[in-house]
Structure 1
Amino acid sequence: MTAPSRRGFLKLAGLALAPVPALAACQGGGVLNPGPLTSTAKLPEPFTLPLPKPTPARPVRTTAAGDHYAMTLKTAEARILPGYTTEIWGYDGTFPGPFLEARSGTPLIVTQTNRLPVPVATHLHGGITPPTEDGFPTDLLHPTGHATMAGHQGGHGMPAMHDPYAHIAEGRRDYRFPMRQRAATLWYHDHRMDFTGAQVWKGLAGMCVVRDAQEGALPLPDGDRELPLLICDRAFDADGRFIYPSTDPTLTRPGMDEAIAGGALGDVVLVNGVPWPYTEVAAARYRLRLINGSNARRYELRLDGPGEGGFVQIGGDGGLLPAPVRHQTLRVSPGERFDVVVDFGQYAVGSTVTLVNTAASGGPGQVMRFHVTRKASDDSAVPARLSDLPKLTPSGAHRRLVFSRNGSRWRINGRPFDPDTPLLRPRFGDTERWSILSVERHPFHLHGAFFQVLGRGAAGPGRYDVGWKDTVELSPGTEVHLAVRFDAYRGRYLAHCHNLEHEDMAMMATLQIT
């Protein structure tokens, strides 16, 4: 397949080339988003609340079919801010949801019961799953006693639609995740069409770590020195409730206030559900599994403490890198994961080290704090060689995608999302070259496969593009070139913007793997 030129493709998509300085960013300060939502609740002083350390959920049983878990999706009252209760929607009524620890090659069977007032669709982000288990946004699990129609009322200027291929369940369903994939940091979240942003904001997200023998043989920090960290932002009203300006608070009819059309940004940063927490660490190496679970906020994370500090990246979205990469700053877009080692042994006992976000100021500029409280022996290490990754060399089709906006409507290749009409039909087993251009800033996320970044514009991959990826940041006015191969399952998947408000406003494309 011969792809049209960049200029020609922009014309086909109904776009005009604009000089990069004239392009609006789509986070804070962009033309569609005047800034973060402002909390009116009394907020705690940063770094005064302890960090919760996730404990792996126990399977209800283990059989030849795999590890079985049960989750009930329900409303609950959570104490997120001191002195307030906040209604959440949670997997098992918790925020974040249960921490899942999976073994590569051992399937997870997760039985979900929906006791919320609305439908849900759970996506295991980073999971290589059959299309029926992937959380396609129209594959809904309805509450018991509610109609199981596959239609949607439409919103954001879109007509109502009916998806004849939707897999609909009522009350309860099993998600079967094969886990035929390497060790990696994943997460799961709601993916309901038109309402993903609002329902994730209410609490429908959780963490999942996949382990395998190859990674387990490495002398990396583990046990109490491994910290999964789900980072997200929220805003709270005077009663301690989440602020999310949907046009219909019942989340029955789609729509959101113009204030968050560019992406919902809160002024409170939560880590594992706690605002600006602290944790005590020994003067030793720690492994931090960083997940950006925010709707729209991107982070530029840096360690602020005595000395140079810094991160040693050992993994990303799709697991271990070939070799460690050192960073002073981590740029993390919504949906991305960074697996890093921090050596707190370089700091004196009694030191404090603050994880800050240099992409923001005030509350959103602070994330969490580490207190180095004691000396400790440390037999961990970061090997110079971590894993062997095959290099993908495209030999199949060359496809172009343009992420754009027409007024207040977000589009891919000039088209809104259509669940039953594929925009792309990749061939199973082929390694394709995808060139993705964005006229604003978007995190691109692919379901059903990992990819490798070949380059940005005429240059090579960026410093954060190493290894297997499923999410990558698109910078304004620059093409990102990817090597993509679907070789696990045939069927229907998605490519979309992982700014959840953009996703809800139809910035998704259906893929049919043939």
Structure 2
Amino acid sequence: MRERDARGMTRRRLLGIGGALGAMAATALTASAALARRPSITGAELRSAVPLPPPFQVPLPIPSVLAPVSTAGGVDRYAITQREVTAEILPGVRTPLWTYAGTFPGPTIESRRGRPVTVTHRNELPVPTVVHLHGGRTPAKSDGYPTDLVLPQGWQEASLPMGHDMHDMEGMRDPQAVVTTLTRDYTFPLDQRPTLLWYHDHRMDYTAPAIWRGLAGLHLIRDDAEEALGLPSGQRELPLMIADRAFAADGSLAYPSLDPTLRRRPGVTLPYLAGVLGDVILVNGAPWPVHEVDGARYRLRVLNASNARHYELEAVTDDGRRLDLVQIGADQGLLAAPVTHRVLPIAPAERYDVIVDFSGVPVGSRVRLLNRLGSGRTRDVMAFRVARKVTDDSRIPRVLSADLPAWRRSDAVRVRDFSFRAGRMHGGHGWLIGGLPFDPARTDVTARLGDVEVWRMVADVHHPIHLHLVGFRVLSRSGRPPLPHDAGLKDTISLRPGESVEIITRFDGYRGRYLFHCHNAEHEDMGMMANLEII
């Protein structure tokens, strides 16, 4: 990682960075090609060992909205128990899951902008857990730092390894870790723009298998101004959590962990070092579902909750006509104005707020949501079946929001360079930021509260990079203007192979220790994470 002030002076250099961004990209591509073997595709696909259902037969589930246990004192309080259940995901097949409150996805929390929420999580799973509200402007003590563990009953903190490496668990401990037993309160001020967030496990070195087993749920923030726009709402607003999985012969979720107990040895087997892909596409926990819709506009709140799979989504009618995907929002809320797409790329952890108009589709016909990056069964995502003609009083305003930040390059007090690439860590394969694997005891970036910075990032293969605490705007891709889907305020940016991207952000909100990392969850678990200290 390299930091410069606004005049371009180098303040410090860390090991592993040298030369121009182009040289870093070339070196990284070579290293990653050797590691991943398929450098243009991030991940290898698991094949299910049970019969898979035909597409578009299972109804789309809508995750339940969690009721608060208390609303006293201006704070909404919720309680969630993390526990194992067995559920039917594939028809007629029983699958063990790790869940929030017994469901996959976990229950949705709906909040009002500026009204604080406290969620008490109780860990009844067989391993420690951590909860991160992805996209939340959250004080550090509730952000879900990977070593701030909630231990199951009976675990001994003193014997718990932390900061361990990829093989023998013999590594440094994190002196700042805050560890609790059985329960922990996470408090979210939610003083931020209305948007779709999601919560998921963030335990160090085991995020990928924990999410894969079911630890993910949605959190919506709303406010009066957004509700006054006249956008589709009620039953015509659909949350869509898209995730891929694979199933073993006994119905369990297949995953290539080195240690299936997720206790002593993190990581995955060699073919899956670049990421784990499944051959079943789930939406809200159902395989290739179908949803009955009116001939009207629908608001789709789309989350890519896959570990490593990228999608290019398109909505196609039975007669081959593509419908417009009108983007109205990004990770961190509404755009200034709508952007129309025919194909919408979405990387792991990205969210898009999209409107699709079914009014021109004949009653009884179907619209398929397809993935242009998929093949075979993974090309299908879900379908909508138009059931009736209706009167639709929703609208898409030309101006959606006027509160987007207007940061300029001249506002930046420093520029930082980062490389995201494959490399060696602890004698094995890993994924590195600036040539270094994650170390919870090391501060990688120190930023002052309120400072505006420009970050320049370069990738070897696909890396969806997520910043905790703050949103950012995309300034450029490889020296060219941002792509249409880069509009708005984001917290996750998809870096493509060999690409350099510039983003700009302001580090506001709270002081403390945060993270930035790749949200290919296997990359994250194998070292591609760094500390961000706000002072």
TM-score, reference length from structure 2: 0.92
Q: Which moved more, 1:425-434 or 1:10-19?
A: 10-19
Q: How much is the aligned-residue C-alpha RMSD, in angstroms?
A: 2.2
* Conserved? CA contact 2:25–2:458, under 8 Å: no
Map of 1:455 onto structure 2: 476
User: Distance in 2 between the 1:28 and 1:86 partners?
Assistant: 32
Residue from 228, 231, 234 that aligns with 1:223:
234
Q: Say yes or no: does 1:244 pair with 2:255.
A: yes
1:132 aligned counterpart, secondary structure: helix
Residue of 336, 340, 359 corresponding to 1:345: 359
Query: Structure 2 counterpart of 1:382, which letter?
Result: I
Instruction: Say yes or no: does 1:302 pair with 2:314.
Output: yes
Q: Secondary structure at the match of 2:277?
A: coil
Residue number among 470, 478, 488 corresponding to 2:509 in the alignment: 488
TM alignment of 1:45-444, pairs within 5 A: 45-149=54-158, 151-152=161-162, 154-156=164-166, 159-253=170-264, 254-305=266-317, 306=319, 307-388=321-402, 389-393=404-408, 394-407=411-424, 408-444=429-465
Work out whether residues 474 and 486 of structure 2, in 8 Å CA contact, stay in contact via their aligned partners in 1: yes
Q: Which runs of 5+ in 1 are unaligned?
A: none
Looking at structure 1, the residues matched to 471 and 243 of structure 2 have their Cα atoms a distance apart, in angstroms, of 23
Distance 1:386 1:34, change over 3 A: closer
- How many Å separate the matches in 1 of 2:29 and 2:188? 44
Distance 2:106 2:34 in 1: 32
Instruction: Please state how far the C-alpha of 1:21 moved relative to its aligned partner.
Output: 8.3
Q: Which runs of 5+ in 2 are unaligned?
A: none
Q: How many residues align?
A: 512
Identity over the aligned pairs, expressed in percent? 48
Contact 1:26 1:263 in 2 (8 A): no
Distance change in 2, residues 1:506/1:159 (3 Å): farther
Compared CA separation, residues 473 and 159, structure 1 to 2 (3 A): farther
Structure 2 distance, partners of 1:258, 1:31, is 17
Cα displacement string for residues 337-373 of structure 1 (whole angstroms, at most 9, x for unaligned residues): 0000000002111110000000011111110000001
Q: Is the Cα–Cα contact under 8 Å of residues 25 and 441 in structure 1 kept in the other structure?
A: no
Structure 1 residue 114: deviation in Å?
A: 0.5
1:296-333 CA distance string (max 9 Å, x none)? 00100001114331200000100000000000011000
TM-superposed deviation, 1:148? 2.1
2:367 aligned partner, one-letter code: V
Task: Give the deviation of 1:156 after TM superposition.
Answer: 2.2
TM-superposed CA distance for 1:3, in Å, is: 6.2
> 8 Å contact 1:151–1:163 — kept in the other structure?
no
| Whole-angstrom CA distance in 2 between matches of 1:32 and 1:410 | 16
Distance 1:483 1:21, change over 3 A: closer
**Inter-CA distance 27–269: structure 2 relative to 1 (3 Å threshold):** farther
1:145-192 deviations in Å (ceiling 9; x for gaps): 211246327232585220000111101111101111110011110000
- Provide TM-score, normalisation by structure 1: 0.96
Structure 1 distance, partners of 2:165, 2:126, is 19
Paired residue secondary structure (2:513):
strand
Q: What is the SS of the residue equivalent to 1:64?
A: helix
Query: Could you tell me how far apart the structure 1 residues matched to 2:187 and 2:34 are?
Result: 38
Instruction: Judge conservation of contact 1:33–1:259 (CA < 8 Å) in 2.
Output: no
Partner in structure 2 of residue 18 of structure 1: 26
Given residue 406 of structure 2, which amino acid in structure 1 is its aligned partner? Answer: K
Residue type of the partner of 1:482? I
**Contact residue 328 and residue 355 of structure 2 kept, 8 A:** yes
Task: Choose from 486, 490, 504 the match for 1:469.
Answer: 490
CA deviation after TM superposition for structure 1 residue 11, in Å: 4.1
- SS state at 2:209 partner: helix
**Separation of aligned partners in 2, 1:141 and 1:39:** 32
The Cα of 1:19 is off from its aligned counterpart by 8.4
- Mapped contact 2:67–2:78 kept (Cα < 8 A): yes
CA contact (8 A) 1:14 1:414 kept: no
1:213 deviates by 1.0
Task: Give the Å deviation of 1:255.
Answer: 2.6
User: CA 1:288 to 1:392, structure 2 compared with 1: closer, same or farther past 3 Å?
Assistant: same
* Aligned-partner Cα distance in 2 for 1:456–1:26: 25
Q: Structure 1 residues 275, 417: CA separation in 2 closer, same or farther (over 3 Å shift)?
A: same
Closer, same or farther: CA 426–498 of 1 in aligned 2, 3 Å: same
> Which residue identity does 2:324 align to in structure 1?
G
- Whole-angstrom distance in 2 between the partners of 1:103 and 1:27: 43
**Cα offset for 1:25?**
11
Farther off after superposition, 22-31 or 108-117: 22-31
Partner residue of 1:36 out of 33, 45, 48: 45
Q: 2 CA distance for matches of 1:160 and 1:113?
A: 28
C-alpha contact 1:95 1:203 (8 A) present in aligned 2: yes
C-alpha contact 1:490 1:512 (8 A) present in aligned 2 = yes
Paired with 1:65 and 1:281, the residues of 2 have a C-alpha distance of: 37
Q: Distance in 2 between matches of 1:11 and 1:116?
A: 47
- The 1:202/1:182 distance shift into structure 2, 3 A limit, reads same
CA distance in 2, matches of 1:35, 1:153: 27
